[in-house]
Structure 1
Amino acid sequence: MDAYIHSLVASESRIKLIHLPHVDPPPQELYLRSVEKYIADLIESHKTHVKEAIINQVLPNSSSIPLAGLVVDMFCTAMIDVAHELGVPSYVFFTSGAAFLGFMFYLPKRYDQLGTEFRESDHESDIPSYVNPVPTSVLPSFVFNKEGGHVCMVNHGRKFKEAKGIIVNTFLELESHAISSFLDHDIPPVYTLGPLIKLKSQTDFSFGGINQAQHEKIMKWLDDQPQSSVVFLCFGSMGSFGASQLKEIALGLEQSGHRFLWSIRCASSDDKFAAPNDCMNLENVLPQGFLERTSEIGMLCGWAPQVEVLAHKATAAFVSHCGWNSTLESLWYGVPIATWPIYAEQQINAFEMVRDLGLAVELRLDYRVGGEVVMAEEIKKAVEYVMQGDSEVRKRVKEISEKSRKAVMNGGSSSASLGRLIEDISRNMVLVEK
């Protein structure tokens, strides 16, 4: 990943990377209790160094120049304090959707009223950014965390309101209800600039993930398949399953009879903090004879070039973890999703896509790591449904695909929103004295 970032910087002279001094991370025990608290404490510990870097490296040595402001990640809201100290505006870059942004605004309001975390026995919540009441079963797991995770996210929601604006990776035509829900509340301007995705391009093999031979093998296999005949299964960089679940997925695919490309990843057995690895001994985790029986219709791989697969004419459907980037990529290319969320906000993303927007097929909405095994019959039915060529979901996805492309063109909703953001930044630039 470092090599990839540096390759992007090398191609754009206006971008400069600044290396901050080392800071000892919080103890790993905190990570096990609350990932959210661990990250929040880690970011908090960098505030002084970020401020010093801006003063000593961003601003020139001899004079003062306009500093447009700070753009901070949605989990780096501690840096809004740095912007305040420098007297410059801050803008939050929110990489999830607008509906989930609304959920983040809902958290402090609920906490102020009840003063406690959610309980798994709670039924549902009326959250303004969602069309339908949201079941507690699809809420992110941090809302139940009593070790600081829930409070951290409540605090992020509060800090968002201190920003000058919020940049969201979505577009008006996709989440009009959620975006309109922000207008009647004390919320900073929301700028919808999406879909911000890396479109199909020459794959860079220098930064890991997949080698050229693997890439060519996958794309050659897709080239040999009929148009709109393949279901693609991929669960993100951190998505993996145990052996019992992998067997059920295999059986469900085989019973469906559809062609498939399956990016199969296995959890690291040595390091609980490590990302999943490519499975080395598939015969040990799949049903006996599965590879031979499906050799004519299926391909298994490790890391897959997801965007290129979704863009391929052979790809008809996507069984996905419903990470927001993956969701936007599938909509851009007009490929309907069968939802299989795993962690983070993926469950509530799946709920929005299926129940609120009608843009996905429900395989599961409330699956979580360590939960009950999804059986082959359920997987088979979802694959058969999402592969239907004339379904209402497929028609709606094709329509939103066209709208997503228009949104980023000149005169489109996201293009216009970008113009408003630039105007706001230009209007609020200030001179910062070193």
Structure 2
Amino acid sequence: MEMEDDLPTTIVLYSSQTHLNTMLVLAKFIAKHHPRPTLTIISSAPPPHHDPSFTYHRISDAVPSVPIPNILERLFEIPRLTNQNLRDALQEVSRKSKIAAIVVDFFCYSASEVSTSLNIPTYFYISNGGSGAILLLYFPVIDEIVNGNIEDLDDFLEIPGYPPIHSSALPKLLAFRQSKTYLHFLKAAMEVRRSKGILVNTFDALEYRAKEALSNGFCVPNGVSPPVYFVGPLISETSAGDHECLKWLDSQPNRSVVFLCFGRRGLFSAKQVKEIAVGLENSGRHFLWSVRSPPEMQSSSPAGEVNLDELLPDGFLERTKKRGLVIKSWAPQKEILSHDSVGAFVTHCGRSSINEALLFGVPMICWPIDADQFINATLVVEEFKLGLPLAAAADGFVKADELENRIREVTESLTGRSIRHRASEMKAAVAAAAQPDGSSVAALEKFVRSLRKD
């Protein structure tokens, strides 16, 4: 039997189902620059396509029949309730490899109890950027200084490394102290504070203020926080094949197309969809629009099929056919943003969408819908200077003339020109960060060296 010191070394990455894709990209980034130690990914998600750069270990997510009222709470609760399955998996891995560290998705923060008991150094991976890491670390401070529910605050918060953020921009599920999600977020914050380090999906040139706040302990009361490693932006390597919209883009003028796409959960009412159509038509600009069936129409549409003739204003498709394309549901977003014909991106400001816009130097028009997207939108506009905001009513409704004006502003005005220039600079900065001597590769090297010290 081999002695432990003779075993190969592995890094374990433990992910919730919802963050598995971004964790896989982290694994590939590590493997590209450091083929040793090996990598082992543990998750309850179905196995991804075989990749020789890592070993995949699936664990069961079967839990007792406990009512869990919302999706976000479930993402925290399932790892907590299946800690024994994780323990079994880690013990199985340790029979064949020496585990140098475990990198944990913050939804899986409860894994720290297991890894600590097994003397495995614990790191966290924050996929939503430096701002996400700051909010997590600083949230216990917000909890102490805010009396009552955050939703009732109606004031601007001073958060290290942030521009002024209004309390209404915080994720709605963190607004109520009594919710289990709120308590999970607090507990996750404390575990991250106790960890050996934090890997973050961002890069120095974009979030230098965030890095300063994190590295200098501005986010924690005692001024001592874990080392932070900016290793991004990490973006999924998907391929769209021969999607019809890519062929259509080939026929459009350079930087002429405004692309509208709002993610998996970006559903609008039929009234809002019609308003978007009016704004696009009145703008006179070329556009590519990914449309999903409104919630109130999905029950009457087989498999969520979008009836464009019923949904859009009368004659819209015919009037705009020479300069616009409307596609139903899914769009190959990364491939579209990389196309030379795309000149602006109307986005919900999910972090992956922001990273893809950065990668290809595309200015943004920010239309946040849910979760951390409102914070992200504020950062894109106020901190990164890479986009324009959309003014919305209290219920989130955006008028046609508001969309039209922002499209014209980003494509015609001096402000738009400045944003386009800034986006080009960030595109170059993204490429530089990923070079062998770039900041993100250097951060990864520091992380790997830290494992050798443990």
Please point out which of 209, 230, 234 is paired with 1:177: 209
1:387 counterpart residue number: 411
Q: Which whole-Å CA distance do the structure 2 matches of 1:137 and 1:277 have between them?
A: 35
Q: Give runs of ≥4 in structure 1 deviating > 6 Å.
A: 1-7
Please point out which of 345, 352, 360 is paired with 2:387: 360
Q: Which whole-Å CA distance do the structure 1 matches of 2:319 and 2:420 have between them?
A: 29
Asked whether the equivalents of residues 170 and 195 of structure 1 are also in contact (C-alpha less than 8 Å), the reply is yes
Please point out which of 198, 208, 218 is paired with 2:236: 198
Q: Which whole-Å CA distance do the structure 2 matches of 1:60 and 1:166 have between them?
A: 27
Q: CA deviation at 1:143?
A: 2.6
Aligned residue for 2:335, secondary structure, equals helix
What aligned pairs does 1:112-191 form with structure 2 within 5 A after superposition? 112-114=144-146, 116-130=148-162, 132-145=163-176, 146-182=178-214, 183-184=216-217, 185-191=223-229
Q: CA deviation at 1:270?
A: 9.5
After superposition, give the CA deviation of every residue in 1:235-283 in whole Å (9 maximum; x if it has no partner).
01111101010010000000001010001112456999xxx97642112
Structure 1 residues 388 and 279: CA distance shift in structure 2, 3 A: farther
Q: CA deviation at 1:290?
A: 0.9
Q: Which whole-Å CA distance do the structure 2 matches of 1:228 and 1:355 have between them?
A: 24
TM-score normalised per structure 1? 0.86
Structure 1 residues 179 and 359: CA distance shift in structure 2, 3 A: same
Q: Which whole-Å CA distance do the structure 1 matches of 2:133 and 2:55 have between them?
A: 28
Asked whether the equivalents of residues 231 and 387 of structure 1 are also in contact (C-alpha less than 8 Å), the reply is no
TM-score normalised per structure 2? 0.83
Asked whether the equivalents of residues 342 and 367 of structure 1 are also in contact (C-alpha less than 8 Å), the reply is no
- Which amino acid in 1 is paired with 2:174? V
2:400 counterpart residue number: 376
Unaligned runs of 5+ in 1: 204-211, 429-434
After superposition, give the CA deviation of every residue in 1:31-71 in whole Å (9 maximum; x if it has no partner).
2xxx433322222101111101111x21227xxx4211211
Unaligned runs of 5+ in 2: 1-16, 22-44, 218-222
1:285 counterpart residue number: 311
Asked whether the equivalents of residues 191 and 418 of structure 1 are also in contact (C-alpha less than 8 Å), the reply is yes
2:428 counterpart residue number: 402
- Which amino acid in 2 is paired with 1:136? S
Aligned residue for 2:204, secondary structure, equals coil
Structure 1 residues 96 and 45: CA distance shift in structure 2, 3 A: same
Residue 240 (1) aligns with residue 278 (2): no
- Which amino acid in 2 is paired with 1:59? S
Aligned residue for 1:53, secondary structure, equals helix
Q: CA deviation at 1:121?
A: 4.0
Aligned residue for 1:358, secondary structure, equals coil
Q: Which whole-Å CA distance do the structure 1 matches of 2:183 and 2:432 have between them?
A: 39
Q: Which whole-Å CA distance do the structure 1 matches of 2:428 and 2:257 have between them?
A: 22
- Which amino acid in 1 is paired with 2:361? G
Q: CA deviation at 1:389?
A: 7.9
Please point out which of 318, 334, 341 is paired with 2:368: 341
Q: CA deviation at 1:107?
A: 1.1
After superposition, give the CA deviation of every residue in 1:95-114 in whole Å (9 maximum; x if it has no partner).
10102211222210122344
After superposition, give the CA deviation of every residue in 1:119-152 in whole Å (9 maximum; x if it has no partner).
344211100120x221122221123134222222
Aligned residue for 1:409, secondary structure, equals coil
Please point out which of 313, 324, 336 is paired with 1:298: 324
2:74 counterpart residue number: 38
Q: Which whole-Å CA distance do the structure 2 matches of 1:216 and 1:341 have between them?
A: 27
- Which amino acid in 2 is paired with 1:327? I
Aligned residue for 2:103, secondary structure, equals strand
Return 344-353 or 96-105, whichever deviates more. 96-105
Q: Which whole-Å CA distance do the structure 1 matches of 2:183 and 2:384 have between them?
A: 30
Q: Which whole-Å CA distance do the structure 1 matches of 2:65 and 2:250 have between them?
A: 46
Aligned residue for 1:186, secondary structure, equals coil
Q: Which whole-Å CA distance do the structure 2 matches of 1:172 and 1:388 have between them?
A: 30
1:58 counterpart residue number: 93
2:14 counterpart residue number: none
